[in-house]
């Protein structure tokens, strides 16, 4: 099977490529503009006969013959979308239009990684797929939130009007090796700060919650969705819910008990609670996450230490 992964040099994308390449019947093509992705994440596949890497921005049309498209391309960190909001919404809207156009031309099945951000600052807890969300259309995060909402609309319109085979995953916070170290996401921030011996900066009030899914679990869920019969949308995430202060304390205990925890001002429209209801994923995909947070943090620490060149202190 020929499979296109847009954003395949990114954090989740590169782990997906690793898994797809394990199957010797797959040929994998990655399209990435390296805006937030890195060739380093794919170094073990470059030169492999079943692998191809194209520097390509999805806001431009792409002509390739493929059977499946995993459309992951989009900056997914708040630092990035505030830095270049127009690029973010263009990637979400025009990028998705281009990939749907490709799917239509070549008869490919297409999976969109949408996001828990489509629920905004939710008034329902936990969030099921039936919830329509509570999103500010003109806030600093809207380029991402509303961009993904429009992408979902486009997917369903192409499905209804042109019969395209679509799959939509609403993915919740994901963490693991190869996350960008300074991308403003909370897990990577805390781990990098702990390794560098800096204070862990928790945005006020610290009681806001997130649910963190280890990347290997996430990839498994995406592949089950792509190869199953349900269009979605389906929540894929880990329902284990932690406050930001609890997360900071976990990182501190596991990685560097000597660091302090300090509070900083928060960004506008930061959701107070985020927790997936994964009943549908369990029933339809027979999927649920396996890796608990404390185990996943340790796996991520090793990767971050290597990239930051800060070895573990040996106990005397």
Which residues are catalytic, by number?
144
| Token pair in block for residue 262 | 């300090």
Q: What share of the chain is helix, strand, coil (3-state, %, to 5)?
A: 40, 20, 40
Cross-strand pairs, 115:
171
DSSP 283: I
Contact 266, 203 (CB under 8 A): yes
Structure tokens given for 45: 């596949």
The residue whose two tokens read 């921030």 is 189
The CA distance from 160 to 155, in Å, is 9
Angle between helices 142-162 and 96-106 (to 10 degrees): 20
Q: How far, in Å, CA of 42 to CA of 40, rounded?
A: 5
Tell me which H or E stretch contains 195: helix 186-196
Report the distance separating Cα 177 and Cα 215, nearest Å.
8
293 in helix, strand or coil?
A: helix
Instruction: For residues 8 and 194, give the distance between their C-alpha atoms in angstroms, rounded to a whole number.
Output: 28
State CA 121 to chain mean position distance. 18
- Angstrom distance (rounded) from CA 222 to CA 48: 24
Question: From CA 154, how far away is CA 268, in angstroms rounded?
Answer: 28
What whole-number distance in Å separates Cα of residue 85 and Cα of residue 293?
A: 31
Q: How many CA atoms lie within 13 A of 156 on its CB side?
A: 11
The token pair at 22 is 């394990």
């Amino acid at each position: 099977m020929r499979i296109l992964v847009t954003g395949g040099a990114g954090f989740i994308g590169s782990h997906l490529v690793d898994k797809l390449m394990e199957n010797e019947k797959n040929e994998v093509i990655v399209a990435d503009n390296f805006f937030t992705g890195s060739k380093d994440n794919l170094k073990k596949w470059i030169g492999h006969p079943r692998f191809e890497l194209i520097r390509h921005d999805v806001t431009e049309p792409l002509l390739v013959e493929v059977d499946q498209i995993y459309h992951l391309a989009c900056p997914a960190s708040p630092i990035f979308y505030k830095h270049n909001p127009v690029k973010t919404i263009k990637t979400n809207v025009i990028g998705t239009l281009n990939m749907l156009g490709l799917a239509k031309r070549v008869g490919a099945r297409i999976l969109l990684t949408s996001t828990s951000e489509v629920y905004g600052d939710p008034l329902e807890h936990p969030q099921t797929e039936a919830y329509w969300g509570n999103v500010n259309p003109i806030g600093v995060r809207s380029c991402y939130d509303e961009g993904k909402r429009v992408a979902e609309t486009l997917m369903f319109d192409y499905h209804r009007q042109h019969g395209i085979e679509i799959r939509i995953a609403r993915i919740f916070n994901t963490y693991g090796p190869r996350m960008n170290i300074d991308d403003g996401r909370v897990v990577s921030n805390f781990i990098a700060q702990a390794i560098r011996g800096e204070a862990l900066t928790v945005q006020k009030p610290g009681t806001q919650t997130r649910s963190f899914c280890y990347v290997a679990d996430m990839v498994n869920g995406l592949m089950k969705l792509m190869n199953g019969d349900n269009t979605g949308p389906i929540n894929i995430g880990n329902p284990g819910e932690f406050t930001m202060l609890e997360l900071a304390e976990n990182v501190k205990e596991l990685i560097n008990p000597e660091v302090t925890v300090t509070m900083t001002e928060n960004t506008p429209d930061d959701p107070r609670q985020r927790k997936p209801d994964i009943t549908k994923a369990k029933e339809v995909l027979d999927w649920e996450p396996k890796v608990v947070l404390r185990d996943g943090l340790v796996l991520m620490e090793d990767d971050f230490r290597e990239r930051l060149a800060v070895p573990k202190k040996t106990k005397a």
